[in-house]
Structure 1
């Protein structure tokens, strides 16, 4: 398993955040005897990364008063603790497959602040892209899950140390940074970009059916409601494919939902979109029908116009030919 694969699998472990909450997430990756990297995200915005060689936190994006948000000594302590954790667990775990070229360990820690001011923090450890354990702290209480067979005495002692660090170090530091970042990155978080929506139909020559697709793209924030309707009624989820939220390179998002329909399908389909950037729900009916109709009208006009031009040229040439004959006969009579 390569690094990219492990990274993608581990991101799938992250919990979804409700629209009324904000999350600060730290993700660190350690490839045994090779590399160590870490990044920090506010919701879905990468605000900085930790340079393991220089042991310096590097801010990213539109930043203001970053020194007030990040305490260099705190970042250095966090980096050292995480790296020490990786090095320790690296000796306890062995590759699943001895032929694997990389042994990847990852840890993610995220704290959440909701509208009701209740804060919580979760830390998860992954090995080769799969969750190893999870520790959660909320309202003064811990919950712990172990997803491996390793339960030796070292793990028990490490768990107690992890609880203490989580409650007394990581939790207060994370919540403090989260609140500060919510102030310094307010403009980025509150920006709204309207989705570009298209409803298209593409025929499949092999099956004789068509794929009806509704695509919403280039929108921000990521929360969006995209629904396909058939004659005014929502299409069942089991008929729809897609619906996965995907990021764009510019920091916006896209989502596509598709439906297979027969060539003889006479139903009316509509795509409905609601988003924070929109004042009202947008409904998009089948534009492909109007496009086809427009094309047919244009072709008909071109055909009529073209036919008229041909007839006009023909009549004009015929008149010229008749006029030439009259001149010829007139000349003959004169002679």
Structure 2
């Protein structure tokens, strides 16, 4: 008979016993169970080998919900130490193994056995929840019955204990049982009457010879599969942290980044462990990266700090061959602070001396400092203004120039290119005269000197319009300066010259125009156009005349040919 079958038989028998219909056969069945289950328990312990050091546990966390909720009526989560390894709910009714470092599937018989065991647990918790609702007169709403059952194994592979506990609606503690090889503890709770002596004896036999052996066997089987995850060893990192609080100092001993979660962390004062009631914290918490952390803190008053105690944080862990220690002496802080203060004073003297030397030696081009306080706030006094000038002259300006040179060196191919300007002098008729524009375009960099001259003399800036350097859209710039010239000024026949100087030019670029020369040019052009028109008309007349002569001569020849052909025809008729 298979061991799991015996376990299932026990569970089924236990359900029948709870119904109260076979109390008179209870003592006889107990003796049978003691005889048969003890026989199979020997092979359970002997056939499973130890995988490694460190204690481990296996827990089934079951929840039964009665009432309308979006959750399954019954769910079970199986935890190996702190890792979820299996899941079951009443909707799927399948035992699902959560894969970590194992093959994708487990044996079918194991999945079937798990589903069968959890199915029995489901029916038992459903019956228990029904009885508790009837007992507490709960007819509406959502009721929750929770069960935690599992076992722990010592580091040598021997079973340590099996525990069973139920809670109703997360408030009322239902019955619980605990077995640790030598002792059996039973708590009936306050919801329903507890077991009497014979049934408690039956429970102990069931825990000792069925549930504990099978739980330990399952624990070892899953532990063998998940050994790369569960049995990995990550050493802790240790810190001794000091933090000022009201009335003294808080000394914290922090161990973090370790796995597994079991660790011994002790805070020593002058080599002696600090009493636990003096410490705060002490809970092992997950860190979020599948490791753990633990902190223990001690409040040290100002009077205690004067005693200059030596505090040591020590940790022992499965991943460490030796203990890990971090120490701190409370009175040493003052020595460190005084040394640090002396170093800071010396460093400040060196910095001030360097600034003084820099101010003495530096030849800065900034000779004037202008300050405008505005109208919003009070202005600076004389000392502050002098300080600001020194700061700008010896700090801000040199730093800005240094940054400018650094960026200029990086972008020299773009910023330091030179594109020469193209120059145009444009005339445009406007009402009352002419607009003369001097246009320079397509140049880089943007700095350019553009001047409009009238008879060799620069035109005053107030007479000109424009004068703004504008981007052209192709990475170059353009500049236009315009002058309005009246009709009277045009009669004076001034000579206008547009001249430009630029970094890309070795010499100045000039374009000139004489205002009176326009009329001469127009009269000459008109005469030329008339002559060309006469020549063209004369050529057309000659061509037409010759064409008509050719046509007249061809018509005469055609008439002569006709007369000759007629005469030849007449002569041929007379001969016949």
Assess, with a 3 A threshold, how the Cα gap between structure 1 residues 128 and 287 changes in structure 2: closer, same or farther: farther
Partner of 1:84: 123
Deviation at residue 146 of structure 1 after TM alignment: 0.8
Taking the aligned partners of 2:54 and 2:178, their CA distance within structure 1 comes to: 20
Richer in strand (by share): 1
Match of 1:314 among 356, 366, 371: 356
Assess, with a 3 A threshold, how the Cα gap between structure 1 residues 203 and 249 changes in structure 2: closer, same or farther: same
Match of 1:248 among 277, 280, 287: 287
Assess, with a 3 A threshold, how the Cα gap between structure 1 residues 161 and 39 changes in structure 2: closer, same or farther: farther
Richer in helix (by share): 2
SS state at 1:286 partner: strand
Q: Please tell me whether residue 274 in structure 1 is matched to residue 308 in structure 2.
A: no
Number of aligned residues: 300
Assess, with a 3 A threshold, how the Cα gap between structure 1 residues 320 and 23 changes in structure 2: closer, same or farther: closer
Taking the aligned partners of 1:208 and 1:152, their CA distance within structure 2 comes to: 53
Partner of 2:163: 122
- Cα contact 2:284–2:292 (8 A) shared by 1: yes
Assess, with a 3 A threshold, how the Cα gap between structure 1 residues 291 and 249 changes in structure 2: closer, same or farther: farther
Deviation at residue 121 of structure 1 after TM alignment: 3.3
CA RMSD of aligned residues (A): 3.9
Taking the aligned partners of 1:310 and 1:43, their CA distance within structure 2 comes to: 63
Deviation at residue 305 of structure 1 after TM alignment: 3.6
Match of 1:107 among 147, 160, 164: 147
Partner of 2:375: none
- Cα contact 1:213–1:256 (8 A) shared by 2: yes
Assess, with a 3 A threshold, how the Cα gap between structure 1 residues 142 and 213 changes in structure 2: closer, same or farther: closer
Partner of 2:224: 183
Assess, with a 3 A threshold, how the Cα gap between structure 1 residues 69 and 301 changes in structure 2: closer, same or farther: farther
The structure whose Rg is larger is 2
Match of 1:131 among 173, 187, 192: 173
Deviation at residue 172 of structure 1 after TM alignment: 5.3
- Cα contact 2:310–2:329 (8 A) shared by 1: no
Deviation at residue 216 of structure 1 after TM alignment: 0.9
Q: Which runs of 5+ in 2 are unaligned?
A: 1-52, 364-576
Deviation at residue 29 of structure 1 after TM alignment: 1.2
Q: State TM-score, norm by structure 1.
A: 0.74
Assess, with a 3 A threshold, how the Cα gap between structure 1 residues 238 and 166 changes in structure 2: closer, same or farther: closer
- Cα contact 2:279–2:298 (8 A) shared by 1: yes
Q: Please tell me whether residue 31 in structure 1 is matched to residue 65 in structure 2.
A: yes
Deviation at residue 123 of structure 1 after TM alignment: 2.1
Please list the CA deviations of residues 20-60 of structure 1 after superposition, one character each: whole Å capped at 9, or x if unmatched. 54322111012222342211111222112113311122222
Taking the aligned partners of 2:360 and 2:81, their CA distance within structure 1 comes to: 78
SS state at 2:95 partner: strand
